[in-house]
């Protein structure tokens, strides 16, 4: 059965992807849980419009970040997370969790793919985080406190 994914589905594809999957999988799992729709011409047209709009929105956010990246330099973003007595976080913090924190505390919309991390952060303390886009870069400080 040909479907259009409405959400990212691990092992299947990303949002707005058009996939062919087994009928049973689509009818019993994906469609009832709101993860997919049957790929009709009407749905395909709507998805194509959504995909184009998301590309335009992403381009606008990239341009805006490129202009505002200097204001992000040396900003301190704070967060309190559960940690043990040695200062190790129970769960590592990834770029997908850092981006909303930056947006919330600085009003600068940073996409997770522009945040450079070698590996997830798993320690309490101050961490320098690099952000780069279109050849411009800035560094801000992520201050993680134990909850």
pTM of structure? 0.62
Q: Decide if 9 contacts 3 (C-beta within 8 A).
A: no
Give the model's pLDDT for residue 129: 92
Q: Decide if 69 contacts 130 (C-beta within 8 A).
A: no
- Eight-class DSSP state of 75: -
- pLDDT digit string (tens) for the chain, length 147 residues: 999 999 999 999 998 899 999 999 999 999 999 999 999 999 999 999 998 998 898 888 877 777 778 888 888 999 999 999 888 999 889 999 999 999 899 888 888 888 999 899 999 999 999 988 878 888 999 999 988
Task: Say which residues have a Cβ less than 8 Å from residue 119's Cβ, sequence separation at least 6.
Answer: 92
Q: Which residues of 77-113 are buried (b: 16+ CB within 10 A; e: fewer)?
A: beeebebeeeeebeeebebeebbeebeeebebebbee
* Alpha helices (runs of H) in 69-134, residue ranges in sequence order: 95-106
Distance, in Å, from the CA atom of 139 to the CA atom of 137, rounded to the nearest integer, reads: 7
Report the SS3 class of residue 115.
strand
- Eight-class DSSP state of 30: I
Give the model's pLDDT for residue 21: 93
Distance, in Å, from the CA atom of 26 to the CA atom of 33, rounded to the nearest integer, reads: 10
Domains identified in the chain and CATH numbers: 2-65 (3.40.5.10), 67-146 (3.10.430.100)
Distance, in Å, from the CA atom of 38 to the CA atom of 1, rounded to the nearest integer, reads: 8
């Amino acid at each position: 059965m040909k479907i259009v994914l409405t959400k990212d589905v691990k092992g299947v594809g990303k949002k707005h992807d058009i996939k062919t999957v087994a009928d049973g999988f689509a009818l019993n799992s994906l469609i009832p849980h709101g993860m997919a729709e049957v790929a009709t011409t009407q749905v395909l047209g709507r998805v194509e419009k959504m995909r184009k709009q998301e590309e335009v929105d992403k381009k606008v956010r990239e341009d805006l970040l490129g202009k505002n990246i200097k204001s992000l330099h040396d900003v301190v973003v704070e967060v309190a997370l559960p940690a043990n007595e040695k200062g190790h976080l129970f769960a590592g913090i990834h770029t997908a969790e850092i981006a909303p924190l930056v947006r919330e505390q600085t009003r600068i919309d940073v996409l997770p793919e522009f945040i450079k991390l070698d590996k997830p952060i798993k320690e309490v303390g101050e961490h320098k985080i690099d952000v780069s886009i279109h050849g411009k870069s800035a560094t801000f400080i992520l201050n993680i406190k134990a909850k």
